[in-house]
Amino acid sequence: MPRLVELGSKQFVRFLSDLWTQRNWQTKIQPRGEGRFLVQGQRADGTKGLMLVLPTVDAEVTKDHVRGFIAHAKKRQIDVIVVASQGEFADEVRGLATNHDVKLLDRDELGETVENEGMEESVRQYTDGDVYETAEVEFGLPFDLPEPIENALSSLPLEAIQERISGLTGGGDGDGGSGGGSDGGSFRDRLPSSLDDLKSSSPPSVRVVVVAVLLLVLALGSVAALGPVVNGSGGSGGPSGVAISAVSTAPSSSADMTARWNAQTTSSITVGNNTFTAPDGEQFVVVAFNVTNQGSSPGSLSQSAVVFESDGVRHGHQPLRNVSAFGGGLFAPNDSKTVWTVYAVPEDTKTGTLVVQPSNEDTVAFVYDDSLAAEPQTES
């Protein structure tokens, strides 16, 4: 049985009013306080209906909620009495409803109604495109992932990948595109948010990740181009390297700017006559970029637009006293400039990914270049 997707409280009440309107009722919604609503209905033949709505998902509807309502409805000689909720009905309420000919509507019952009566579009106007809730069945992977694969997957910035795949499927704005509406949004929403979620997730999520993320991202690379995982080993006396990758926001052929990059992990850096040591319990990840603006107009890529994501946390650049590492973030047309930045991350960080913030207007293609010195350097 399909289960109706969770709606906001007001959206749920309006949808129920639409349901009756489609069945030739004239309806009126009345707030009743304490998060409750009444939907009054009347048909042309004089039939009267009254629906009590408790819209919150976490509510348990008990006898105390509905006993007075049923008595009130019968006193008014209401022909059709309904109680609707996105929460759960207590067993005592179901018995009371059976005894007094009261119809109970939960998300399971409403999901079946929507499917039988073809009301999917009525639901979509109150959601991001989804109509039915996806059943979550625990399904752990029946094997341990090899360590190199697990490290690579751990470094994937799944939030950024979700946005890129959402754009590919046309689900980013919730209008569903031309293919029926809900696939884009639900496709994105089923992506896991962490490696643990990937390893113990529902079958749809596992399939989406393995097929969409691994094949599209790792193999094709044209949706969210994940660069090579670089072991940013530190210099003499430095900590062990962090495995670093980068996610492009467009393929090299169509990106506004290309950023060749290299990175290293270190406990301290020297800029001019000043030496900066990583804070206690942290290490530095130094990243150098050679940025080329491929367009015919000025491009922008600020230091704050590039973040380092690891273990679900996004780290902004580490400010250094009296040091300007990135310039103004503006790049002239058909020109290249070398810049650098540094991130302070926990000492136990093993993997991380460079990600461009969605607010950056220009798209960037990352290209790993081991000939670029991964250290503080002068702009060119």
Question: Does some domain include residue 253?
Answer: yes
For position 18, which CATH number holds?
Answer: 3.40.1350.10
Classify residue 240: in a domain, yes or no. Answer: yes
Q: Which of 109, 126, 143 is the last residue of a domain?
A: 126
Residue where a domain terminates, one of 73, 102, 126: 126
Per-residue confidence (pLDDT) for residue 65, from 0 to 100:
84
Which positions ≥6 away from 311 have C-beta within 8 Å?
A: 154, 349
In the structure, what pLDDT confidence band is assigned to residue 134 with cuts at 50, 70 and 90?
Answer: low
Is residue 44 in a domain?
yes
pLDDT score at 119: 81
The CATH number for 292's domain is 2.60.40
Percentage of the chain beyond pLDDT 70 is 71
Mean pLDDT of the chain: 76
Which residue among 94, 126, 158 closes a domain? 126
Is residue 125 helix, strand or coil? coil
Distances (CA, A) of 342 to 307, 321, 324: 10, 13, 11
Local confidence band at 53 (pLDDT 50, 70, 90 cut-offs): very high
Q: Name every residue whose Cβ is closer than 8 Å to that of residue 239 and which is 6 or more positions away in sequence.
A: 265, 266, 267, 283, 347
From the number of C-beta atoms within 10 Å of its C-beta (0-12, 13-18, 19+), residue 146 rates as exposed
Tell me what percent of the residues of the chain surpass a pLDDT of 90: 20
Report the pLDDT averaged over residues 146-167.
51
pLDDT tens sequence across 171-205: 444 443 434 444 444 444 554 555 555 544 444 44
User: For the chain, what is the domain count?
Assistant: 2
Is 48 within the bounds of a domain?
Answer: yes
Write out pLDDT tens, residues 262-284. Answer: 998 999 998 888 889 998 999 99
Q: Which residues, including other chains, have CB under 8 Å from residue 304's CB and lie 6 or more apart?
A: 316, 317, 357
Q: How far is CA 73 from CA 34, 68, 263, 269, in A?
A: 19, 9, 71, 76
Domain span holding position 340: 233-368
What's the pTM?
Answer: 0.44
Are 366 and 335 in contact by the 8 Å Cβ rule? The answer is: no
